[in-house]
Structure 1
């Protein structure tokens, strides 16, 4: 069982999409379930509708899943398991005030040591709960520090050993009785039977805490982990929301297609037998163990190249539908312009002028008017050479006075691919084009 567990707190980051793709691919290779868990316990940061948006994006990338759940649905189970840990003396009730905790942090700072919980409340057990609730004294529940180091064998990073004091006595249930991220995450992975967790390396510090929780709850199933290196921006820093290209929505708006984005994210920091591929093809050779341990730099130019290749591979009729047509010829027309364009937006900027009213007020307007009338009255002409000869003969125009206005009339642009390549693909639209 593998899972993708996004939080509905903002636009999907390409790093999160990469995690989703890898989880799906490994689940497919292992022939096990792939589930989606929306981690919505941080109510203050949740944005309404983002959970639906996440699922829509996964659909665009053809990442089918076996089930969808919201973490908040398991609230009662989280609370029950936290109380059980208290009763088994594996966790304790903490009534430390924010002021006390801040003072402890300041002391640690002065002494130039990492902050660790003082242990002030570590003796407070389950018997104190009823009285604290009755007296309305705020409290949280903390798990006890592990007795020994926690070792995690990461499929990408190798063995990682975490000392007990680095895990510390962290909070598992907040004062409002909601679970913290690590506790809810560990409990839900146990409940679902998740056997392999693929996620970003920013979760490396969470893994020993979650393993500790599972151990104290007596969970015996072995869970494997793989932490993906971060993606860097052009400045060599971790990509953040300030980087436009970090947003999957932004990439869509720029005209990048899902197949190309997926191709690039699978290729990023990975060993691949070829640069251009589809996800089904990648399933034949993809291995988590082949991913580099080092961070990978995001290269928009590389993505543009891959996007151009995938647009060129797309079915002609399907490509035309992205511009409002259902015509194989328009798809072929678009591919001619791939010499000059790399995204759907750039292609549209080339194709749209062909089908909109032309500017007859330009310096070539008079010649264009002559040609417009001739085309309106002309019979259907199959080849460009025949069409060119007919218009040239009937108009009496030659040289620059012929070719320049003809290009403007047919394409709306002064430069571009050969008209002999364009004409066969637009001839059935000539009355619309030449107007």
Structure 2
């Protein structure tokens, strides 16, 4: 499949979640791995529920994840194409009007189930004469339009599931156009995939049944062999096993960002969870591209644990080099000659990136040192023996060795009071790395005896 064209087609009716991000990233990374094209296509034909602010938020969320589309399209600007396709299907006898209400259809399904029959639409509308239809419309009824399926087995080689097939005779003729004239997603999706020459559709396995319908629709509009390839990945659920929904807002990308979760951690989790590749931190999307293999995705639904994501996010931070965070540090006024050694010193102790603000205050701001009872004299000795600058990473070992010899303290009794005084914290980064950043003036001030 040289130079694939793939697409992510969200409905802008809410915030995208980690499951949506999985689909978007699999498409985007696949396109990059195979030097193809990635289209972001908003399924906004539902003009009442689709909102511009949701579309904008989706683009922001994708950009945060590093997903940059080659093209952005909106289906709400393409109704003329769908109208023309619908007319072609009508002329070919594949799109026919139906007048049953939702209540009538529900009663039919229940009767069929009671008789042990599959609840498939009985095509009663095909028996209506022109006079019957005119009479129904005179009563004020407006038709919805169904696509007449050929009763045959549809087969395809799924890039995730392998050889797949569905017997179309087991399906109801799908509704493509509602009674109010609005389109369900199926027809616009196929029309656009044909027009935009999409070669591969990567989406969730909840769409598997739709594939048989869409392959027939591709062939009805584009001829034999017009359908693209398909890959149906497994779905993610919440830690409790519930399905993810844009309406509930569970595990939304914006929410994860607000919690301080690293974008690379979200991307790694979205792509690797539920595959044969162990979940691990990545330093860039390029790492995910190299490991991407659709055939290695599991066939079973996978639970997504936010606690596991939080741990992965911290591990991701710990491995990032300075260049990867230089601009983010500068946005918090962490710059200059101290910025790089500061990052290398503190990154291993971060839970979220914003923790750097507190540690920057430790090395370049004002803190309240902590002095425990009985340590005042020791800290005064420590201040008196503090070496002159310039300092490097060896000053800590030299200073504490001298203190050990003069005071007799060792282990926690030696190091813990110094950490409390110098940082105000019980634990943290290596003081061998922090002390040169704190500097002699601040160190002397913090070692001064207080309240003794």
TM-score range, shorter chain: 0.7 to 0.9
Closer, same or farther: CA 419–193 of 1 in aligned 2, 3 Å: same
Equivalent runs, 1:266-285 vs 2, <5 Å: 266-272=271-277, 275-277=280-282, 278-285=284-291
Match of 2:422 among 410, 413, 420: 410
Specify the alignment match of 2:174 in structure 1: 170
Specify the alignment match of 2:433 in structure 1: 421
Superposition deviation, residue 275 in structure 1: 3.9
1:298 and 1:413 mapped to 2: Cα distance?
Answer: 34
Secondary structure in 2 aligned to 1:261?
A: helix
Matched, 1:66 2:65: no
Could you tell me the TM-score, scaled by structure 2's length?
0.79
The question of whether the paired residues in 1 share the 8 Å contact of 2:364 and 2:437 is answered with no
2:148 and 2:290 mapped to 1: Cα distance?
Answer: 45
Matched, 1:181 2:185: yes
Deviation string 1:147-197 (CA, Å, 9 cap, x unpaired) is 312223211112222222333222111122121111221121111111100
Superposition deviation, residue 69 in structure 1: 0.6
Specify the alignment match of 2:261 in structure 1: 256
Secondary structure in 2 aligned to 1:172?
A: strand
2:131 and 2:78 mapped to 1: Cα distance?
Answer: 25
Equivalent runs, 1:31-430 vs 2, <5 Å: 31-123=35-127, 137-220=141-224, 221-240=226-245, 246-272=251-277, 275-277=280-282, 278-316=284-322, 319=325, 321-322=327-328, 324=332, 325-327=334-336, 329-330=338-339, 332-345=341-354, 348=357, 357-359=366-368, 382=391, 384-385=395-396, 407-427=419-439, 430=442
Superposition deviation, residue 26 in structure 1: 1.7
Closer, same or farther: CA 314–189 of 1 in aligned 2, 3 Å: same
Superposition deviation, residue 19 in structure 1: 1.2
The question of whether the paired residues in 2 share the 8 Å contact of 1:3 and 1:34 is answered with yes
1:123 and 1:188 mapped to 2: Cα distance?
Answer: 32
Secondary structure in 2 aligned to 1:344?
A: coil
The question of whether the paired residues in 1 share the 8 Å contact of 2:194 and 2:222 is answered with no
The question of whether the paired residues in 2 share the 8 Å contact of 1:308 and 1:338 is answered with no
- Higher normalized contact order (CA 8 Å, seq sep 6+, divided by chain length): 2
Deviation string 1:392-429 (CA, Å, 9 cap, x unpaired) is 9xxx9x99999766534532323334433311223299
Gaps of 5+ in 2: 448-452
The question of whether the paired residues in 2 share the 8 Å contact of 1:333 and 1:425 is answered with yes
The question of whether the paired residues in 2 share the 8 Å contact of 1:11 and 1:249 is answered with yes
RMSD between superposed Cα atoms in Å:
4.1
Q: Tell me the matched-pair count.
A: 429
Q: Mean Cα displacement is larger for which, 411-420 or 222-231?
A: 411-420
Secondary structure in 1 aligned to 2:240?
A: coil
Deviation string 1:19-75 (CA, Å, 9 cap, x unpaired) is 111111222233222111011122333244111111122222222222101111111
2:340 and 2:260 mapped to 1: Cα distance?
Answer: 16
Deviation string 1:341-389 (CA, Å, 9 cap, x unpaired) is 433255556555666653479877x969x98xx89xx986525449968
Deviation string 1:287-322 (CA, Å, 9 cap, x unpaired) is 212222233332445434443343233232653654
The question of whether the paired residues in 1 share the 8 Å contact of 2:152 and 2:169 is answered with no
Could you tell me the TM-score, scaled by structure 1's length?
0.82
Superposition deviation, residue 233 in structure 1: 3.1
Closer, same or farther: CA 70–117 of 1 in aligned 2, 3 Å: same
Closer, same or farther: CA 318–387 of 1 in aligned 2, 3 Å: farther
Q: Mean Cα displacement is larger for which, 116-125 or 401-410?
A: 401-410
The question of whether the paired residues in 2 share the 8 Å contact of 1:316 and 1:329 is answered with no
Gaps of 5+ in 1: none
